[in-house]
Amino acid sequence: MSAFETVEIAEMVAACSGAGGPLGHPRVYLNLAPSGRVECPYCSRNFVNPAVARAGGMAPEVGVATPSAEGPGAERVSESPAPRQVGEAGGMHG
């Protein structure tokens, strides 16, 4: 028997905040891909998606794809994940 709790879920992302209250930890979101299982780095709870784990994990091509509406290979500068910096284009005048 495992010393840590095992939680079975149907999703591929687990949200863990420990035991809650003063015994908990910051909420973290854990990705179960590709194996269908993951261990919380704070409390060592094990999260398992039984269907994916039984199948031996996910195929490498399974995942989230967000293709550009402008076709393959099109770069969309407006979708950059980097935050925009205030005053970057012309400097701040003071």
| pLDDT, averaged across the chain | 77
Q: What is the pLDDT of residue 1?
A: 44
Q: What percentage of the chain reaches a pLDDT higher than 90? A: 46
pLDDT band at residue 60 using 50, 70 and 90 as cut-offs: low
Give the gyration radius of the chain's Cα atoms: 20
pLDDT digits (tens, 9 = 90+) for 20-58: 777 789 999 999 999 999 999 999 999 999 999 999 988
* Domain spanning 1-56: CATH 3.40.50.300: no
Residue 7 CA to residue 53 CA, distance in Å, equals 13
Phi, psi of 30, rounded to the nearest 5 degrees: -115, 130
DSSP characters over 74-88: ---GGG-SSPPPTTT
Is residue 82 scored above 70 in pLDDT? no
Local structure of 52: helix, strand or coil = helix
Listed by start position, the domains of the chain span 1-56
Contact 43, 18 (CB under 8 A): yes
